[in-house]
Amino acid sequence: MVVKKEIKDAKNIKKENVDVDLFDYDALLKRARTQLEKINLEQERFVIPKLMSLIQGKKTILKNAAQVCKIINRDPQHLLKYFVKETGVPATNDDTKIILNGVVNSFKVNQIYQKYINEFVLCKQCKKPDTRIIIEKGVLLLKCDACGAINPVRKI
Ligand SMILES: [Zn+2]
């Protein structure tokens, strides 16, 4: 079976890397790289948090907006602006939440939030969320800490 053979081969390669001459620079480098890849694979996946919303009277409260923004490493003001643009509803925020001055159901809230994540958080290349927004020569760029990709993003 091909799959089995590949696993066997992979095992052999690993063994070779372990048994390298400690003064062979290339082999050491190769070994270090293999170990790094192993660490990366074992690293816990960063999970996109859920945005909780609640309708109170004529307002919609994004209850955990500040916490969510901390995890996804975005300015709450940035997420707030996006919600204002998408819903056409004015909004304010405080230390914990974003308050939309209008009724937006939770389905819509999640839809908007997902769009925000896709456009402003997930890397365009590797789709991982370990990214940040930087400004270079007045242009907003989404920089990925996982794969190093840099992609322009629009201003909200
Ligand atoms: Zn990436």
Q: What is the pLDDT of residue 88?
A: 97
Alpha helices in 43-75 (DSSP H): 65-72
Summary mean pLDDT of the chain: 85
Query: Please, which pLDDT band fits residue 24 given cuts at 50, 70 and 90?
Result: confident
143 DSSP assignment: E
User: What's the 45 CA to ligand 1 centre distance in angstroms?
Assistant: 13
- Give me the mean pLDDT over the 22-39 stretch: 71
Cite the beta strand spans of the chain per DSSP E: 53-56, 59-62, 91-93, 98-100, 131-136, 139-144, 150-152
- The secondary structure of the chain in percent helix, strand, coil, rounded to multiples of 5, reads 45, 20, 35
Report the candidate in 58, 119, 57, 47 with the shortest Cα–Cα distance to residue 85: 119
Query: Please, which pLDDT band fits residue 151 given cuts at 50, 70 and 90?
Result: very high
Query: Please, which pLDDT band fits residue 139 given cuts at 50, 70 and 90?
Result: very high
User: What's the 153 CA to ligand 1 centre distance in angstroms?
Assistant: 14
Q: What is the pLDDT of residue 4?
A: 52
User: What's the 78 CA to ligand 1 centre distance in angstroms?
Assistant: 21
User: What's the 60 CA to ligand 1 centre distance in angstroms?
Assistant: 33
User: What's the 142 CA to ligand 1 centre distance in angstroms?
Assistant: 9
- Give me the mean pLDDT over the 87-112 stretch: 97
* Cβ–Cβ < 8 Å for 116, 80: no
- Flag whether pLDDT at 46 surpasses 60: yes
Residue predicted with more confidence, 147 or 42: 147
* Cβ–Cβ < 8 Å for 54, 61: yes
Q: What is the pLDDT of residue 44?
A: 54
- Flag whether pLDDT at 3 surpasses 70: no
User: What's the 118 CA to ligand 1 centre distance in angstroms?
Assistant: 13
Dihedral sign for Cα atoms in the order 115, 119, 122, 127: positive
Q: What is the pLDDT of residue 33?
A: 76
User: What's the 128 CA to ligand 1 centre distance in angstroms?
Assistant: 6
